[in-house]
Amino acid sequence: MTERSTLYPAIDVNRSGMLPLDAVHTMYWEESGNPNGVPVLFLHGGPGSGASPKHRQFFDPDFYRIVIFDQRGAGRSTPVGEMGANTTQHLIADIELLREMLGISQWMVFGGSWGSTLALAYGEAHPERCLAFVLRGIFLCRSWEIDWFMRGMRQFFPEAWSRFADYLPADERDDLLGNYHKRLNDGDRAVHMPAARIWSVYEGECATLFPDPAVQANYGNDNVALGVGRIEAHYFVNRIFLPENALLANVGRISHLPMITIQGRYDVLCPPLSAWELHQAWPGSQLEIVQDAGHSAWEPGICRELVRACEAMKSRLA
């Protein structure tokens, strides 16, 4: 990979807007970087966390035309936490609507965590629209990965998991996902908001190798918590609206394209096994294991390797 390994300086957007999707949902989108550059689509995690201005800084603004949007129910899209008409298929259609509106024929797809899930789902649905992939913290949303999030992470973060589980009454802890989902769907803010905050903070506490107050504070923000808690539970209960193991089973649709995965060795949210299995199923792909990192894109090693991956792709896309 090439030498640059630090984030690019902060940049302003060239243009942005709110794209109506249906009678309920409106989607925030933005463009930055080189208007005539190679398009790159940034897909945020969660689902439900939203994007931030800092995400623009992974990309060389002289080379890339940087497209970022907040998925249905997340970030600056409205209404936040809305689960109606919110499925993987809706998100894929939203990406296509945005691509067509912007007049882009093909783009590189960049996504981490749930963003990697959506990147694969989109790519497998529309392989002809993809140039390459840079992925992080692979999450294939199989049953064991969901179960790991709900219970398995206690093996590494028992204190955080206990706070998460103990929020529910003792007689509801046999079905954490189902009973959290009920509370998160409750129309009373006094019911759904505390549950969303507990869910989101649990994720934030498990997201880094060492405690990171900035990451944890972001997950505790009301807007982020509502999006993450509600929408993650919604997608987990519905198994991301795809058959079990569909993303890995259909990877042959995109495995002819360049792909680099950045994976933290000690990623507790998205264990490295999924990244390894994706790499094995994708001939010619690159898997970079960061030995001193957990899950978050802002871990120093993860951040460094994501920038290097985007730099490496420039020679393939020029």
Mean pLDDT by 10 residues, the chain (318 residues): 84 98 98 98 97 98 98 97 97 98 98 98 98 98 98 98 98 98 97 97 97 92 95 98 98 98 98 98 98 97 98 96
Which whole-number Å values give the CA distances from 188 to 164, 183, 222, in the listed order?
Answer: 20, 9, 15
Question: What is the tally of structural domains in the chain?
Answer: 2
Boundary (domain end) residue, out of 211, 239, 267: 239
Contact 73, 82 (CB under 8 A): yes
Say whether both 63 and 173 belong to one domain.
Answer: no
Strands 130-136 and 15-20, sheet pairing: unpaired
Instruction: Identify the domain containing residue 135 by its residue range.
Output: 15-142+241-317
Residue 249 lies in a domain: yes
Say whether both 125 and 262 belong to one domain.
Answer: yes
Residue type, 118: L
What's the pLDDT score for residue 3?
79
Say whether both 161 and 119 belong to one domain.
Answer: no
Say whether both 181 and 248 belong to one domain.
Answer: no
Say whether both 137 and 255 belong to one domain.
Answer: yes
Boundary (domain end) residue, out of 204, 239, 274: 239
Say whether both 138 and 255 belong to one domain.
Answer: yes
Residue 152 lies in a domain: yes
**Marked catalytic residue, from 267, 274, 279, 296:** 267
What's the pLDDT score for residue 1?
45
188: Cβ–Cβ under 8 A, 6 or more apart, which residues?
none
- Rounded CA gap, 187 and 218, in Å? 24
Residue 186 lies in a domain: yes
- Rounded CA gap, 269 and 289, in Å? 15
Burial of 267 (C-beta count, 10 Å sphere; 0-12/13-18/19+): buried
- Rounded CA gap, 184 and 194, in Å? 9
Q: Partners of 272 in the beta sheet?
A: none
State both tokens at 72: 């249905």
Say whether both 135 and 253 belong to one domain.
Answer: yes
Q: Based on the residue annotation, tell me whether 295 is a catalytic residue of this protein.
A: yes
Q: Partners of 16 in the beta sheet?
A: 30
175: Cβ–Cβ under 8 A, 6 or more apart, which residues?
none
Say whether both 71 and 154 belong to one domain.
Answer: no
Strands 107-112 and 130-136, sheet pairing: parallel
Residue 8 lies in a domain: no
Where are the alpha helices (H) located in the chain, listed in sequence order?
88-102, 114-125, 143-150, 158-166, 176-185, 189-205, 213-220, 222-237, 246-249, 272-281, 300-317
Say whether both 76 and 178 belong to one domain.
Answer: no
- Rounded CA gap, 159 and 171, in Å? 20
Q: Based on the residue annotation, tell me whether 5 is a catalytic residue of this protein.
A: no
Model-wide pTM > 0.85: yes
Residue 66 lies in a domain: yes
What is the end-to-end Cα distance of the chain in Å, rounded?
A: 15
Residue 107 lies in a domain: yes
Say whether both 114 and 252 belong to one domain.
Answer: yes
Gyration radius (Cα) of the chain, Å: 18
Strands (DSSP E) along 12-84, which ranges?
15-20, 26-33, 38-43, 64-69
**Marked catalytic residue, from 113, 200, 274, 285:** 113
Q: Based on the residue annotation, tell me whether 267 is a catalytic residue of this protein.
A: yes
- Rounded CA gap, 296 and 300, in Å? 9
Residue type, 136: R
What's the pLDDT score for residue 2?
52
Say whether both 119 and 255 belong to one domain.
Answer: yes
DSSP 11: -
Contact 66, 107 (CB under 8 A): no
